[in-house]
Amino acid sequence: MIELKNIDVTFEDRKQTVKAVQDVSLTVEKGDIYGIVGYSGAGKSTLGRTINLLDPVNEQSDPYVNIIVAREEDADNEAYQKVDEAYQAEDTKEVIEETSKGFSVPAWD
């Protein structure tokens, strides 16, 4: 199970504080599969990196984080701590347009 409660992640960028993830809570039960979808810069990758313990949460967020990334018998968790990213879709396309691309039938000669 993965459980996050009230998670905040901020970082400094060119003399300003960027709130990459703000007050996120979620629970993912064993066997569940989810996708994180949002605009460019919405914090999707940062949230994924936080879940995989690659980015720290802010100390002031009072985090309750219970994260299991691998079985205990796995000596090296690095293989599990990766965040795959897809290309950024155009803002003008509908979800159905993006997700149906793989369903077209090729014209074979």
- Could you tell me which residues are beta bridge partners of residue 5? 64
- CA 107 vs CA 101, 102, 104: distances in Å: 14, 14, 9
* pLDDT digit string (tens) for the chain, length 109 residues: 778 888 888 888 788 888 888 888 888 888 888 888 888 888 888 888 888 777 777 665 544 444 444 344 454 555 555 555 555 556 666 767 766 666 665 556 5
pLDDT of residue 85: 59
- Could you tell me which residues are beta bridge partners of residue 64? 5
pLDDT of residue 64: 47
Burial grade of 1 (CB within 10 A; 0-12, 13-18, 19 or more): exposed
pLDDT of residue 105: 59
pLDDT of residue 76: 54
Q: Are 80 and 37 in contact (CB under 8 A)?
A: no
pLDDT of residue 81: 54
C-alpha of 96 from chain center: 21
Distance of alpha carbon 66 from alpha carbon 51, whole angstroms: 9
* Strands ordered across the beta sheet of 16-28: 16-28, 2-13, 64-66
pLDDT of residue 89: 55
